[in-house]
Chain A
Amino acid sequence: MTGETVAFWVVAAALLASSLAVVLTPNLFHAVLYLAAALVATGLVFLLLDAPFLFGVQLLLYAGGVVTIVVFAIMLTERLVGERITQASRHVFNGGVVAAAVFVAVAGFLLQGPATPPRPPLAGDTTVAIGRALVGPFAVTLELLGLLLVAALLGALYLARTEE
């Protein structure tokens, strides 16, 4: 058991546990916190896959940004509704069966697929590679993404503004 293997199992266990908590906890606020944990665990998986830059992005944008927005939204709607948001679940059995079936289907492909290649040695700094790719072949995509973010920002503002 190398250090990496141990780290993987620990991170995987944390990720699965917090993910399950997200979908199972009755308290919405708690669910958001578990989501933050799951996102951090995902970031750690990225780190295990030698992508430190993405780990940073994941922490800043996801665990930082998204979770903050969701918390704001929950508090806002809670104030609007005027009662504590607990959330019930519906069709738990059906949903479980379908989700399990999807997992089995995907895992079936994994088992059947060709032998996975061995992990190649790391070729240079991935952060540098990402940077070059972003301003190189993906430059136009990056600009379009910027456009999309602006549009989303304006759209969210428009939707959420109060009628006056």
Chain B
Amino acid sequence: MRLLVWLPLLVLALPFTSFLLLAVVAPLRRAGRVAGAVGIAAIAASLGGALLIWNEGFRHTATWAWLPGDGGPMATVGLLVDPLANAMLVLVTLVSFLVQVYSLAYLADEPAPALGRYYTYQSLFAFSMLGLVLSPGFLQMFVFWELVGLCSYLLIGYWYQRPAAARAAVKAFWITKLGDLGFIIGIVMLWAATGTFEFATLFAKAQAHALAIPALGTIMFLIYLGAVGKSAQFPLHVWLPDAMEGPTPVSALIHAATMVTAGVYMVTRAQPLFALVPDVLALIGWVGAFTALLAATMACVENDIKRVLAYSTVSQLGYMMAAAGAGAAEAGFFHLLTHGLFKALLFLGAGAVIHAVGSNDIFRMGGLFRAMPQTGLVFLVGTLALAGVPPLAGFFSKEAVLGGVWAAHMTWPFVMLALTAFLTAFYMFRVVFTAFFGPATAAGHAHEPAWAMRGPLWLLAALTVLLGLRLAAGGGEAHGPAWLAPLSVGLALAGVALAWAMYQRGALDPRRVAAAFPLSVLDALARRRYGLDALYDGLYRGFVLALSRLVGWIDRYLVDGVLNVASAWTLRGGDALRRIQSGVPQDYVFGVAFGVLFLVVWARLWMR
């Protein structure tokens, strides 16, 4: 058991070591594939440690003083290992490991230094995410929270030569920072009120009803804002689809399985605190459900396969948040874990397809199932899991979420989520039917990817199926009323059927359906992303650019003006003063004599 105490630290330290090694030893980094091997070895060892911890069901809290202060440290750092963290550890290390292996093949055409850079960022990300998961307090969590944000920025902008990628990276950074601003203010306010950042202390106080802070509602709302940004909740969800400019494995790891779920993880972690403020909790639930529905409608009209998956991720994050808001945080976290598996699977599958076809547009694919049956099969498994078809993992977690929301008597959010379930099945099968089963419109070079890519795919697919079977065999606790399971299966199947009718069978013309009255409005809105991007654009232009112009004017005329006047005066003053410097030695002696006299007078008058 003694070993286990150090194991979490080791799990955390390994990726960091790899990062340091790659960051400092430039030749290693520039070697590309060698750097990849270093990163993969580190994360593989981490995965082993995480599995060991998880298997033991290890619980442990270790903190060290960080900011010393009067009467005990102001803040601590440490490791908090509990079942929640354990499960997250396994998910993070597993997906990181698989993604890093996958990237070796996916990014094989990259120049070696760029590949080394990629693995440096990957190691840093793994370290940061693990640190976030293991945080025993808000402050440490915030530090790692920002670190993963940084990694996200770096990896979205991996192809920084592309203007779109650079812009997307900046956009992701700014918009998540908007939420983080609330997060840090909330943390500091909470600290001011309670004097601690630590979860354990805060939860103990919450349990003892010692947290009767009048501003707790505001504080928790501000902290929730951090999750809104990070987990792409409405209205800050706009960065996630754009983040698809990064390499697909990055999308799978950061923007599907791990980083974006940090918000859900934080809300789950701080559940005892959120439970004290029902209003905020309800808001979380409503926003989550609304986000889920909104993103699902946008996914239905998107043609870019990665963007469909991105909207789907936003939608599923809404699911998790809705569950957390309904007080069923375990259900949300459960969905987080299963979603992490099959969404990573879907992204990696999509990556394989994009790699093969060379395009993101699903209407330029088609008949791919024949060309790459293995990829098609695993993609189908992921799609079924996402659609919530039993007995795959997604079904159980989705049902748990729906049951939790229903149990909390949040009827409208429940309806929105149910509608989302239907739309999810529809848009996912729209992709599957169009890309894999439609008429073969692709150029024809489509082929199965290398084993380094296929291996992770198969592993994730197997895990999705096995987890589902295990849950099915376990009987699956009843999450809510008896009609729930049939309803959710029915909705999923209806979605599949509609997609089949529209995109496979051709019984319904998508264009005519979209033109029908109530849907036509929705279609137009969804295609314009509900004007949110335009709104942000306008705000950006209106506010930031106007502000920049104002600042520029101030800088040019006020700041520079003051400087110019000051420098002119200095010049003129110096010109006047230089006449004192006659260059004749005796004049300087006069100066010395006057100095002595001044000192004498000064001593006489003021030194008594």
Contact = CB atoms under 8 A, between A and B. Distances in A.
Chains A, B in direct contact (C-beta < 8 Å): yes
Interface in B567-604: 586, 590, 593-594, 596-597, 600-601, 604
21 contacts: A90-B586, A91-B586, A94-B590, A98-B590, A98-B593, A98-B594, A98-B597, A99-B593, A101-B593, A101-B597, A102-B593, A102-B596, A102-B597, A105-B596, A105-B597, A105-B600, A105-B601, A106-B600, A108-B600, A108-B604, A109-B600
A91 B590 CA distance: 11
Nearest to B590: A98
B597 to A, nearest CB: 6
Nearest to B584: A90
A160 B601 CA distance: 43
Interface in A86-109: 90-91, 94, 98-99, 101-102, 105-106, 108-109
B606 to A, nearest CB: 15
Interface of B, secondary structure class, is: helix
Contacts of A90: 586
B584 to A, nearest CB: 9
Contacts of B600: 105-106, 108-109
Nearest to B599: A105
Q: Which 3 A-B pairs have the closest CB atoms?
A: A105-B600, A98-B593, A101-B597
Interface residues of B, number: 9
Contacts of A105: 596-597, 600-601
Contacts, number: 21
A93 B594 CA distance: 15
Contacts of A109: 600
Size category of the binding interface on chain A: 10 to 19
Interface in A70-118: 90-91, 94, 98-99, 101-102, 105-106, 108-109
B103 to A, nearest CB: 72
B282 to A, nearest CB: 86
Contacts of B593: 98-99, 101-102
A105 B604 CA distance: 10
> Among A90, A94, A98, which residue has the most Cβ atoms of chain B within 10 A?
A98
Given A98-B594, A102-B597, 14 more contacts: A91-B586, A94-B590, A98-B590, A98-B593, A98-B597, A101-B593, A101-B597, A102-B593, A102-B596, A105-B600, A105-B601, A108-B600, A108-B604, A109-B600
Residue from the set B586, B594, B600, B604 with the largest chain A CB neighbour count within 10 Å: B600
Nearest to B600: A105
A99 B604 CA distance: 19
Contacts of B586: 90-91
A92 to B, nearest CB: 12
A91 B586 CA distance: 10
A94 B591 CA distance: 12
A21 B586 CA distance: 20
Nearest to A99: B593
A98 B590 CA distance: 8
Interface in B286-345: none
Nearest to A112: B604
A8 to B, nearest CB: 27
A109 B607 CA distance: 13
A108 B590 CA distance: 21
Nearest to B604: A108
Nearest to A109: B600
Contacts of B596: 102, 105
A108 B604 CA distance: 10
Contacts of B590: 94, 98
Contacts of B597: 98, 101-102, 105
B590 to A, nearest CB: 6
A90 B597 CA distance: 21
A99 B592 CA distance: 12
A109 B604 CA distance: 9
A7 to B, nearest CB: 32
Contacts of A101: 593, 597
A24 to B, nearest CB: 16
A103 B293 CA distance: 97
